[in-house]
Amino acid sequence: MKFKLLTSASLLSLALLSACGQNNQTSVTATDKKPQVNEQNIKAHLEFLADDTLLGRDTGSDGYQIAANYVKSYFKQLGLTPMGEHKGFEQKVTFRKAFIEENSAQLSVINNDGEVALKFKDAFIMSGDSLLTASAIEAETVFVGYGVVSKDFGYDDYQNIDVEGKVVVVLTGRPDDLPSEEGAHIGSGSEKLKHAVKHGAVGFITIHTPKRDAVRTFAKTASNADAPRLNWLNKEGRPFGKYAELKSVAYISAESAEALFVGAERKLTDVLSDDTKNIAIKGFALNSSVKMASKSRHEEISSPNIIAAIEGSDPTLKDEYVVFSAHLDHIGVSSHGDEEDKINNGALDNASGVSILLETARLLSTMPEKPKRSILFVVVTAEEKGLLGSSYFATNPTVPVTQMVANVNLDMPLILYPFADIIAFGSTHSSLGPIVARAAEKIDLSLSDDPMPEQALFTRSDHYSFVKAGVPSVFLMTGFQSKDPDINGGEVFGDFFKNHYHQHSDETTLPIRYDAAASFAEVNMMIGLEIANGEQRPTWNQGDFFGKTFAQ
Ligand SMILES: [Zn+2]
């Protein structure tokens, strides 16, 4: 319907033009020619990207490359500038895939009662190591609470504890009084490992807590233990985010971890009970040691990010970039149960985000007045493997990192109902909050507060890689309010997460509302314009934790 409206409007302007002659051409204002969002375009993109032939677009697969070729081809059609490597659209990312060798994982605890060998997957989990093909250590253990360090929030779990040459033992999770988004960063695995290495640890064991068990059971986590781990390789061929100092890393069930605490000043059950009651936990020396060993097999794969730009019209501001990102990869093929359909099509995760990004690119590239700043589209690989494609791009950007003024990320917009509001995770950290609100208001959408702050979604998609590079970022999502009184957006959300998220049923048979997708593209276009044409580039809020931690 929108397409028809556009066509008749354009016909009308053409008719006016020919009737009034050439002199009146200027009377057709820029707004008359403003491109209209076309929901059929989004549908066409989405149906291609979520098709069975692409087999779930797994990182490094042919299906992913076909999807990448499609995106490249569309950017070419739009006449965008290639911004990848070697004057092309692709940025090649090489990954090391590490598989743990069958029956190689060993963890034994030695305490006053003797030595106990724990059983892989029943009692502990180890993953493939992307640095070492074989490792074996024997070292004393030491408990460091959650293993978090943050000057801003007054935490240093390593204070007055000697961990040099030892295996540190930590609880999964973080202190309860940290705000959710800051806490998600401070309590992340990568931060914990970094601080352990800094203090001289040689191994790292995380204890699965009852608190964690309520969210995801140990058995469920263990069922994924054989899956390979991926790291991207830097120019020297070293896996990013891996520490040579840490020889062994394991995840252990609460019951099995009790052996580590035999003869220590506190029993693990008491510590875990404090954790459940949100009582602050301090570390202490343990009276045990561990033997840890594993063997890993390595494979190398590569998979590209696709990068393109619309050049800005302002001679100075065109050197600054508004960055739109969306991940193109999904989780490929998997078999669980006796379901016939084994393909994870990822129609909403994230064919929807990429399709909307492509339509946003079309809208912004056909504006009668070009945006002042340049607009960069970064379609990334390996999000599902741990935000790896975006991490590679943010660490090896094809434009200077200081010239990326903002990131707007699209991941899994739930276009299943006519949403009446949007959520912008990250909007409370920078001036992007008011910018997004202004843009949304122009098309009668409101900006709502994060309805699920406990999920800390600000740290869970590709924009987080840009945040870590110091770039103010927002992650847009359809809000919970619905224009249709018979549909509860929050319920649709809950149902999707429960029944379709990372499952075979995330496919085009879902009741996708392309009118909602069109609104989402429109709000993205408005946000892009607002940032691109703004007098000032976006800034982190005064004293904001993420701004202070990551921006130069
Ligand atoms: Zn996903």
Q: Could you give the residue range(s) of every CATH 3.50.30.30 domain in the chain?
A: 98-298
Give the separation between CA 502 and CA 346, rounded to whole angstroms.
7
- Centre of ligand 1 from the C-alpha of residue 384, in Å: 5
Residue 360 · residue 443 · CB < 8 Å? no
CATH no. of 28-88+311-550: 3.40.630.10
Percent of the residues in the chain that have a pLDDT greater than 70, as a whole number? 93
Helix, coil or strand: residue 445: coil
Which long-range CB contacts under 8 A does 102-106 form with residues at least 24 apart?
104/293, 104/294, 104/295, 104/296, 105/293, 105/294, 106/291, 106/292, 106/293, 106/294
Span(s) in the chain for CATH 3.40.630.10: 28-88+311-550
CA 43 to ligand 1 center in whole angstroms: 20
Q: In 340-457, which ranges are continuous DSSP H helix?
A: 352-365, 388-395, 432-442
**162: CA distance to ligand 1 center in Å?**
39
DSSP H or E run through 448: strand 446-448
Strand partners, 257: none
Quick: pLDDT tens for 277-317: 999 899 999 999 999 999 999 999 999 999 999 999 999 99
For ligand 1, the distance from its centroid to the CA atom of residue 349, given in whole angstroms, is 5
Q: Which pLDDT score, from 0 to 100, does residue 21 have?
A: 35
pLDDT value, residue 451: 86
- Identify any residues that bridge with 330 across adjacent strands, giving them in sequence order: 58
Amino acid at position 35, single letter: P
**Rounded to an integer, what distance in angstroms lies between the CA atom of residue 231 and that of residue 131?**
10
* Separation of alpha carbons 441 and 435, rounded Å: 10
pLDDT digits (tens, 9 = 90+) for 12-33: 333 333 333 333 333 344 445 6
Q: Which has the closest alpha carbon to 527: 483, 482, 475?
A: 475
Report CA(382)–ligand 1 centroid distance (Å). Answer: 10
Query: What tokens were used for 154?
Result: 């007054």
**Angle formed at CA 272 by CA 269 and CA 273, multiple of 5 degrees:** 85
Give the distance (Å) from ligand 1 centre to CA of residue 403: 29
386 CA to centre of ligand 1 in angstroms: 10
Q: Are 474 and 424 in contact (CB under 8 A)?
A: yes
Ligand 1 centroid – CA 221 distance (Å):
17
Q: 249 alpha carbon to ligand 1 midpoint, in Å?
A: 25
Q: 3-state class of 3 per DSSP?
A: helix
* Residues, the chain: 552
- Would you state the structure tokens that stand for residue 144, as one six-digit string? 């460091």
Q: How far is the CA of 502 from the centre of ligand 1 (A)?
A: 6
Tell me how far the alpha carbon of residue 64 lies from the centroid of ligand 1, in angstroms: 14
Q: How far is the CA of 381 from the centre of ligand 1 (A)?
A: 12
For residue 459, the CA-to-ligand 1 centroid distance in Å is: 14
Angle at 297 (CA atoms; ends 249, 190), nearest 5 degrees: 30
Task: Tell which CATH classification among 3.50.30.30, 3.30.1360.120, 3.10.20.30, 3.40.228.10 matches the domain 98-298.
Answer: 3.50.30.30
**How far does the centroid of ligand 1 lie from the alpha carbon of residue 444, in Å?**
29
Find the 454 Cα to ligand 1 centroid distance in Å: 19
Ligand 1 midpoint to CA 330 (Å): 6
pTM for this one? Answer: 0.90
- What is the distance between the alpha carbons of residues 194 and 170, in angstroms, rounded to a whole number? 13
Distance 157 CA to ligand 1 centre (A): 32
Ligand 1 centroid – CA 125 distance (Å): 23
Closest CA to 413 of 526, 524, 308, 323: 524
Q: How far is the CA of 461 from the centre of ligand 1 (A)?
A: 9
Q: Give dist(CA 42, CA 350) in Å, integer.
A: 13
Cβ(368)–Cβ(34) under 8 Å?
yes
**Dist. CA 394 → ligand 1 center (Å):** 20
Report the pLDDT value the prediction gives residue 337, as an integer from 0 to 100.
63
The ranges of the chain with pLDDT < 70 are 1-33, 336-339, 552
Q: Concatenate the DSSP letters of all residues of 244-274 into one string.
A: TT--EEEEE-HHHHGGGGTTSSS-HHHHHHH
- pLDDT at position 208: 97
